[in-house]
Homo-oligomer: A and B are copies of this chain.
Amino acid sequence: MELKIGDQFFSYKHVTEQDVELFADISGDHNPLHMDAEFASTTMFKQRIVHGMLTASLISTALASMPGTIILTNIYLSFEKPVYIGDNLIAKVTIRKIENSKLYLDAEVTKGTDRVLSGNVKILKR
């Protein structure tokens, strides 16, 4: 399959409490903002928020759905809105530029009509 500018790839995720707890165990990030409902209720978010890097991982999952072997080399991410347990997320990557084996893509994650994360990535295609 020939990739071209404008091609889009997606991944989808319903975030559960178990996801957040497993992610905390893997990463070691037990920040009470993610883990402690009582503490989180005292913050600007009013409830536990999902680890930003868990949301970000959906970008690489969308990249992994591209044909061929994809190697992520650079990523820039702006976390725009909080993600909560129970949210349904859609990650989308769009090819912006192709230079031989280097591809540049725009990336975003949305929940409903809200964009929660935006950014861009550079990958190598083998």
Contact = CB atoms under 8 A, between A and B. Distances in A.
A59 B77 CA distance: 14
B69 A60 contact: no
Q: Provide the main secondary structure of the chain A interface.
A: mixed
B52 A72 contact: yes
A13 interface: yes
Contacts of A84: none
A52 B109 CA distance: 18
Contacts of A11: 28-29
Contacts of A1: none
A126 B78 contact: no
Interface string A85-126: 000000000000000000000000000000000000000001
A53 interface: yes
A111 to B, nearest CB: 16
Given A78-B73, A79-B72, A23 B126 contact: no
Contact of A57 (B12, B27, B44, B64): B27
A41 B92 CA distance: 29
Contacts of A28: 11-13, 58, 61
